[in-house]
Amino acid sequence: MFDMKDKVAIITGAAMGNGWGMAKTFGKAGAQVVMFDISDQVFESAKEFVAQGYKADAYKVDVSDFSSVKKAVDEVAKKFGKIDILVNNAGICRVVPFLELDEKMRDRHTFINIYGVWNCSKAVMPYMVEKKYGKIVNLSSVTGTMVADPGETAYAMSKAGIWGFTKALAREFAEYSINVNMICPGYILTPMAESIAKDSNAGDPASVIKGIGDAVPYENRLGTPEEVGYLAIFLASDEAAYITGQQVVIDGGSTLPETVTVG
């Protein structure tokens, strides 16, 4: 595994799901993991993380609020003297038919999924520029960038917006040896996926998960948060120094078929 010893990595939305999986992979590689999440669960997750022998700190942070983000980032930089890596993972997905989608829910996707990435990047960038070193990994999705299903307009719009931001940021800060890349996960078995399955079929959400898995070409299964973590750790490693402004899909081939029947 890539060596992350002496690296300080902030991971947002780290209390569970993909964020938790990425925190584990970075921790296993020796990084000092800093877990940001809006939920108080982040403190319990960090305790569990430390109990497993990894290095972790936890902060309750609302990524949609720049003042909340900057306060936490400044504390992290003061404590460790640097910030090497930022993984912008925090996000939400609500499946709502377009004609039923109100402005409040639309804006919530924008504030968390886009402004959250903006705010965290804005807060850490001065520290990376000062060191002329940094790795930013943004979590987007195959939804919005490549595919979409009914009810995903707000989510798809917000996730597609991350792609433009990633490319522009990568270009602007390449001269400071700062890499900015984006991961597009497909179907990953997270609490978000389980919640969507429950919304689709409250009586038998497991059948929804199975139906989705059956349509994935690779091993007919959903991916795991740890598998997303392995990709994130590669993009955040020095071995990937010449890769910037790129999107990498991790979906078990789910976007390969021309036609798919799910469920």
pTM: 0.94
pLDDT in tens, the chain (263 residues): 588 999 999 999 999 999 999 999 999 999 999 999 999 999 999 999 999 999 999 999 999 999 999 999 999 999 999 999 999 999 999 999 999 999 999 999 999 999 999 999 999 999 999 999 999 999 999 999 999 999 999 999 999 999 999 999 999 999 999 999 999 999 999 887 888 788 778 888 899 899 999 999 999 999 999 999 999 999 999 999 999 999 999 999 999 998 755 54
Residue 261: inside a domain, yes or no? no
CA distances 95 to 16, 109, 187, Å, are 20, 11, 15
The whole-number pLDDT of residue 261 equals 55
- Catalytic positions are 155
Residue 203 within any structural domain of the chain:
no
pLDDT of residue 263: 44
What is the model's pLDDT at position 260? Answer: 57
Q: Give the per-residue pLDDT at 1.
A: 59
In this structure, is residue 81 part of a structural domain?
yes
For residue 203, what pLDDT is reported?
A: 87
In a domain, 212, yes or no: no
Asked whether residue 92 is assigned to any structural domain, the reply reads: yes
| pLDDT confidence of residue 10 | 98
Q: What is the DSSP string of the chain?
A: ----TT-EEEEESTTSHHHHHHHHHHHHTT-EEEEEESSTHHHHHHHHHHHTT-EEEEEE--TT-HHHHHHHHHHHHHHHS---EEEE---------GGG--HHHHHHHIIIIIHHHHHHHHHHHHHHHHHT-EEEEEE--HHHHTB--TT-HHHHHHHHHHHHHHHHHHHHHGGGTEEEEEEEE-SB-SHHHHHHHHHH-TT-HHHHHHHHHHT-TTTTS-B-HHHHHHHHHHHTSGGGTT--S-EEEESTTTTS-SS----
- CATH code, 131: 3.40.50.720
Residue 197 lies inside a defined structural domain of this protein: no
Segments forming the whole domain that contains residue 128: 8-188+224-250
Number of structural domains (the chain) is 1
